[in-house]
Amino acid sequence: MKKELAMLKKWQKRLRLQDWDVEFEYLKPHEMVSGICQIRWDAEHMSAVISAVRYEDTPNPDSPSNGIEHSIIHELLHLHLRTVSHSDETGRRVKEAAINTLVSALMDAYE
Ligand SMILES: [Zn+2]
C-alpha cells in the first residue's frame, strides 16, 4: 500500500493534480462497479477515491497485467477529463482508448 500511495503522489504532481485530495483503496472484484479499477470524485470538494482490485483477485491473473501504476495514471486522467462527456458506448470506448494511449506514452516518457 505504501508503494501505491507513493505512485499516486508522484503522478498527482506530474499531472498537476496536487490540489485534489485523492485516496487509494483496494476492493474485492464484487465491490467494484465494473472492471478492475475505478475512480469516484467530488468536484466541489476536489476529493476523489481510486479503487482497484489486487492483481491476484483479477478474473484473469494469467493475462498480461499493465500493473497498478497504469491503473493509477488512467484514473487520474479521468479527473482531467471529467467534464468531457460521451454520448454513447462508442464514445466511451474511444475515450478509454485515448486515455490508455496517453498512459502508455507517459509511462514510456518517464521510464
Ligand atoms: Zn477509464
User: Any idea what the CATH number is for the domain that residue 101 is in?
Assistant: 1.10.10
Domain containing 79 equals 2-109
Q: Are the C-beta atoms of 103 and 70 separated by less than 8 Å? A: yes
Distance (angstroms) between ligand 1 centre and the Cα of 111 equals 22
pLDDT (average), residues 60-89: 85
**For 15-32, what is each residue's pLDDT tens digit?**
999 999 999 999 999 999
How many C-alpha atoms does 4 have within 13 Å on its Cβ side? 17
Provide the residues around ligand 1 (an ion) whose CB is within 5 A.
96
Backbone torsions φ then ψ of 22, nearest 5 degrees: -110, 130
**pTM for the model:** 0.90
What does residue 50 show for φ and ψ, rounded to 5 degrees?
A: -95, 125
Q: What is the 76 CA–ligand 1 centroid distance (Å)? A: 9
